[in-house]
Amino acid sequence: MTVLRQLVYRSRSTHSDAFQQISQIETDSLRFNTDNSITGLLLTDGEYFFQVIEGPGEHVQALFEKIKADARHNNIVKICEHPISQRDFGEWNLRTLTLKSDRSCYWLPDDIYLKRDSQVYGLINSFANGRWRGCLPEAHRADLHRAINTSPLAAKLDEQSEYQFAFQPIIDTHLGRISSIEALLRDNSGRYPEQILADLDKSKRYEFDLTSKQYAIAMASEMLQPSQSVSINLMPGALTQFPDAGDYLLSYLKTYGLRPQQLIVEVTENEILNEGDAFMSAIEALRAKGIRVAMDDFGSGYAGLSVLADFLPDKIKLDRAIACNIHEHGPRQAIVNAVMEFATTLGIPLIVEGIEKMDEWLWLQHIGIQKFQGFLFAKPKLGGVEAIRFQT
């Protein structure tokens, strides 16, 4: 049995007037669409295209690959793709419509009937009202210049210790500098924190997690400028099992000449949701001492905006899974726009993790995000921070 699929994308015309292109696009597409049982709708507002493609799954995917290679447009972003039980545009191998600036979705011709609560209707209405204009114009991209050049940073390693810390910078691409560094626990065989802590006796695990941060803070103090900070990760138990955890951390900061505001404790949204009142009280105690708290890996769990609204962290770190290929993924773009609006309204800095591709960074900075962490800028380095040579 053939499974029907529906794919929706948007893109930006490479021609100065997309209205002049749409008739030729229809002519060029009809033969393939007819031969492969493809139906759908193509809409343009003179600058952007919006298309719904329906048909057998393999044919829809083949057509989308052809579309992505078409030089008449760029900034191609897939909004959604899923199975359907019946076609929304079954009478047309390709219906084309133009959208003038004084119109909205409600002008759709009478022979196109879509339920007002359907996803396709909502997407067309969103396009008609200009809510998808996050594309990075090629002219803007060509004119964009950023140069970040920093020297490597190094701290003294304790060669007798079986545990070390690697550091990865968080970059402010607007100011062209390192805004903070994250300390990442490693052992001498390169294992990650989860593996290291899991191997420890449970009665010692939380104490080690807390006391090991003295070493991280000591190393960071050799590298930080007064305007910079260091982030550490702590297990919930390291805070709830030790009521004086904040005092321990403050004593470390004082010993190595750092201010409380230069320390950021990262916690995940799942920890906030699952750990209960004792954990929240411990977090509030840290903040009362001037230590800042970041919500890490936001978007990786199921707590979402409700926990964010109650917790109101000092910083939000957006999970790498949200940023992955965001330049061509409509739903992720919508999520980032929503989180960014929330964060901006409440004055909370937003950091995006896991940036590995230039196109990911370009899209994110184009919508106004300024702080990033990822291999595109620097990988974690044992005992220091890599030199950054970033150029656009």
Is 119 within a domain? yes
CATH number of the domain within which 118 lies: 3.30.70.100
**What's the number of domains the chain is made of?**
2
Q: Which of the listed residues 76, 107, 135 is the one where a domain comes to its end?
A: 135
* H or E element at residue 263: strand 263-268
Query: Would you tell me how many other CB atoms lie within 10 Å of the CB of residue 226?
Result: 9
Alpha-carbon distance values, 375 to 309, 340, 371, 389 (Å): 30, 22, 14, 12
- Residue 235, in any domain of the structure: yes
Please indicate, yes or no, whether residues 243 and 317 belong to a single structural domain of this protein. yes
Q: Which two tokens stand for residue 49?
A: 């295209």
DSSP 168: E
Give the per-residue SS3 of 286-324.
HHHCCCEEEEEEECCCCCCHHHHHHHCCCEEEECHHHHC
Residue 106 included in any domain: yes
Q: Are residues 252 and 385 in the same domain?
A: yes
The pLDDT assigned to 276 comes to: 75
- The pLDDT assigned to 375 comes to 97
From 111, 135, 159, the end of a domain falls on: 135
Pairing status of strand 177-187 against strand 163-172: antiparallel
State how far the Cα of 161 lies from the Cα of 184, in Å rounded to an integer: 15
Could you tell me the pTM of the whole model? 0.80
Shared domain for 386 and 363, answered yes or no, is yes
**Local mean pLDDT, 10-residue blocks, the chain (392 residues):** 90 88 90 95 90 96 96 92 91 86 59 81 80 63 84 91 94 94 91 87 89 96 97 92 93 97 89 78 92 88 67 90 90 88 88 95 89 97 95 88
77: domain range?
A: 4-135
Judge if 159 and 46 occupy the same domain. no
Q: How many residues in the chain? A: 392
- Tell me: do 212 and 108 sit in the same domain: no
68 and 169 belong to one structural domain? no
- Which CATH number is 324's domain given? 3.20.20.450
